Amino acid sequence: MDAARRQRLSLIGFGTLGLALYTYGVISAPYIPSHIEGVALPLDFMVGIPVGFYLLVVRPRRLTLLSVIPVIWIGYGLSVFALGSAEAGVLPYLLAALVPVEIAIAVKECLKVARVYKSARKASADPMVWFKETMLYLVRKDTPAGMAAAELSVWYYALLSWRKKPYVLPGERAFSYHNAGGYMSMMLGLALAFPVEIVGVHLLISQWSVAAACVVTALSVYAVIWLVGDARARVMRPVAIGEDCVRLECGIQMEAVIPLSEIEKVCVTERDACDLPKEDALNFGTFYKANLWIITKCPVLARTITGTKQVRAIGISIDDPKAMIREIQK
């Protein structure tokens, strides 16, 4: 049995055991003498189960101690529910003792996160790397770390990147792609339409429910920030060709580094690219209409929001595909 499977089984086992203990404690509370119930139940819910969570889940996966804090508060909420009062038994004393511990854990872990972030900033000029390394420290899994890094990058590019220069390494020649296929024109059109649409929809929905209107408006504003962040990332993260490799980018959605020696051929249409199976190709062209395809001799690693993938063909949209082909074929 490999380590990953053992970890999954331990997580499933703890989840099942924890749920059973929580359920048993809440159901059996009315039948336990109050002087015992007021001591045993909070200790089980707020100390015993969190300690088990740390030993069986957090420690084997080397997760941050911050993940234990929500388990403590779940135990506190269930203790209040089972005992009927936040002042019952040892609950207020236990809470007073655990809050300083939680604060100490939070401060310690936040300082560690800050150090990881600073180290990532020193090692790379790419904001995606900063956030990815930081999230990897917190969750230890590539896919959720990549998704969280993409989310943070959207906010960074939308709000904090306007005085920054595009990410280009020394010796690289950059090729833009944010205008290819009319992408930026579409974004400008949406930028003009969104304010009117958001206000109109808010006023319409508020006639039935103000709360629902506020939720819809908040989601609409979030969508605007996401689109602005992705559009800005396409400007700030150009495709680049260095001395020995091609660095492909597609905003926050995809990145791949391909050695020039591994490139088999470069095509301008998907039909001319190859007859590879769909799982061996990625199409990140604007509206899925790539105007440049790079086919490699062997599979290369491409990183996307949802994880990594080994592929042999990657399609992208470039503002000047012919100039990039000439540069690759030099």
> What pLDDT does 22 receive?
67
Please check whether residue 157 lies inside any domain of the structure. Answer: no
Concatenated DSSP letters of 120-187: HHHH-S-HHHHHHHHHHHHH--HHHHHHHHHHHHHHHHHHT-TTPPP---TT-EEE--TTGGGHHHHH
- 285 plus 270 within the same structural domain: yes
Please check whether residue 46 lies inside any domain of the structure. Answer: yes
- 276 plus 317 within the same structural domain: yes
pLDDT tens for each residue of 81-96: 877 788 877 888 888 8
Torsion angle of alpha carbons 285, 290, 292, 294, nearest 10°?
70
Q: How many helices (H) and strands (E) does the chain have?
A: 12, 8
> What pLDDT does 157 receive?
93
In this predicted structure, the answer to whether residue 127 has a pLDDT above a threshold of 50 is yes
**2-16, 197-211, 297-311, 313-327: which range is least confident on average?**
2-16
Across the chain, mean pLDDT equals: 85
In this predicted structure, the answer to whether residue 250 has a pLDDT above a threshold of 70 is yes
Please check whether residue 43 lies inside any domain of the structure. Answer: yes
**Band of pLDDT at residue 131, cut at 50, 70 and 90:** very high
Calculate mean pLDDT across residues 52-57: 82
Listed residues 88, 113, 138: the one ending a domain: 113
Please check whether residue 302 lies inside any domain of the structure. Answer: yes
More confident residue, 50 or 20: 50
More confident residue, 248 or 280: 248
Q: What is the DSSP letter of 45?
A: I
In this predicted structure, the answer to whether residue 274 has a pLDDT above a threshold of 50 is yes
315: left (phi over 0), alpha (psi -120 to 50) or beta: beta
Question: Residue 33 contacts by C-beta under 8 Å, 6 or more apart in sequence?
Answer: none
Please check whether residue 214 lies inside any domain of the structure. Answer: yes
> What pLDDT does 59 receive?
81
285: left (phi over 0), alpha (psi -120 to 50) or beta: beta
- 219 plus 283 within the same structural domain: no
- 222 plus 268 within the same structural domain: no
Closest CA to 15 of 68, 56, 60, 66: 56
- 215 plus 244 within the same structural domain: no
Alpha carbon 56 to its chain centroid, in Å, reads 25
Please check whether residue 198 lies inside any domain of the structure. Answer: yes
More confident residue, 19 or 213: 213
- 231 plus 247 within the same structural domain: no
In this predicted structure, the answer to whether residue 52 has a pLDDT above a threshold of 90 is no
Please check whether residue 170 lies inside any domain of the structure. Answer: no
- 50 plus 33 within the same structural domain: yes
Listed residues 235, 260, 283: the one ending a domain: 235
Closest CA to 233 of 302, 315, 300, 160: 160
In this predicted structure, the answer to whether residue 314 has a pLDDT above a threshold of 70 is yes
- 7 plus 109 within the same structural domain: yes
Calculate mean pLDDT across residues 256-278: 81
- 305 plus 289 within the same structural domain: yes
Q: Which amino acid is at 26?
A: V
pLDDT tens for each residue of 153-201: 999 999 999 988 898 888 899 999 988 878 888 888 877 788 888 888 8
Please check whether residue 159 lies inside any domain of the structure. Answer: no
Number of domains in the chain: 3
- 300 plus 224 within the same structural domain: no
pLDDT tens for each residue of 6-45: 666 666 776 777 677 667 666 766 666 666 777 777 888 8
How many Å apart are CA 168 and CA 148, to the nearest integer? 23
Q: How far is CA 263 from CA 22, 233, 259, in A?
A: 57, 26, 7
Q: Which amino acid is at 185?
A: S
> What pLDDT does 1 receive?
46
- 224 plus 261 within the same structural domain: no
Instruction: Tell me how long the chain is.
Output: 330
> What pLDDT does 30 receive?
67
What is the domain range of residue 272? Answer: 239-328
Predicted TM-score (pTM) of this structure:
0.78
Concatenated DSSP letters of 204-240: HHHTT-HHHHHHHHHHHHHHHHHHHHHHHHHHHS-EE
Listed residues 235, 266, 282: the one ending a domain: 235
Calculate mean pLDDT across residues 295-320: 89
- 109 plus 28 within the same structural domain: yes
Q: Terminal CA-to-CA distance of the chain, rounded, Å? A: 50
> What pLDDT does 4 receive?
60
| Long-range contacts (CB closer than 8 Å, 24 or more residues apart) made by 142-147 | 142/307, 142/308, 143/306, 143/307, 146/303, 146/304, 146/305, 146/306, 146/307, 147/305, 147/306
Calculate mean pLDDT across residues 114-120: 94
> What pLDDT does 60 receive?
79
How many Å apart are CA 113 and CA 120, to the nearest integer? 11
How many Å apart are CA 68 and CA 61, to the nearest integer? 13
Element (H, E) at 314: strand 307-316
